[in-house]
Amino acid sequence: MEKKWITVTGGTKGIGFSILEAFMQEGFNAITCARNEVELENLKVSFGQRFPNQQLQTFVADLSKKSDCQHFGDFVKNKTARLDVLVNNTGYFTPGQIHQEEEGVLEKMMETNLYSAYHTTRTLLPLMLSQKSGHVFNICSIASIMPYANGGSYSISKYALLGMTKVLREEMKPQGIRVTAVLPGATHTSSWEGVNLPEERFMKTSDVAKAVLSCWKLSDCTVVEEIILRPQLGDI
């Protein structure tokens, strides 16, 4: 049986890492990218030992740049003629308020949190369209539906990503391609470094990955349009 392929952007840490790990445990071949070449090499060595019968291809890219999105997409298409799952996970968080943020924060957030998903999806969708199947997951945020005082440009960009996901869902309905927005609340990742809260107050990245995997496992007749996950004790 031909192995399935998943592409995850930003797969060296956090939610991206856990999703990559979960799908490779299911037997997938995988492709990921990140800005840090050393972290990519370490990931490739580690997963090569854990999953010796599968491929993990890596590519150095800064997906806040349109050209890097396109180069990464071309890299993926050179490695596989099929794509079963695409996870647009690239993103970052900087707290702030609209009236106090540094100049340029909105532009940077939009480039990283929205445009990266837009350009990567446009580059890779032809693989799914040609096979009339596939599943796109966009990693949004609780900030996509609930504004909060220190969200600023991050929340704006995540609202926009949720909007893009809904548009893509409508477009892909007749194409056999499922589209899911993933909206995690506070998850124990590097974004929360320095916060004086116990680890158990946050969700685990592995739980987000399990939710994504379980949605993919549904039949082609069904799509989970949105996954909303929050810490048991609520938002932080």
User: What pTM value is reported for the model?
Assistant: 0.95
**CA–CA gap between residue 187 and residue 150 (Å, rounded):** 17
pLDDT over 70 at 4, yes or no: yes
Mean pLDDT across 45-53: 97
Half-sphere exposure of 157 (CA within 13 A, CB side): 29
CATH for 5-229 (3.40.50.720, 3.30.1490.440, 3.20.20.140, 2.60.120.10): 3.40.50.720
Instruction: Kindly report the number of other CB atoms within 10 A of residue 80's CB atom.
Output: 17
Q: Sorting pLDDT into bands at 50, 70 and 90, what band is 193?
A: low
**CA–CA gap between residue 89 and residue 235 (Å, rounded):** 21
Mean pLDDT across 57-67: 98
**CA–CA gap between residue 168 and residue 114 (Å, rounded):** 13
Over residues 122-147, the pLDDT tens digits come to 999 999 999 999 999 999 999 999 98
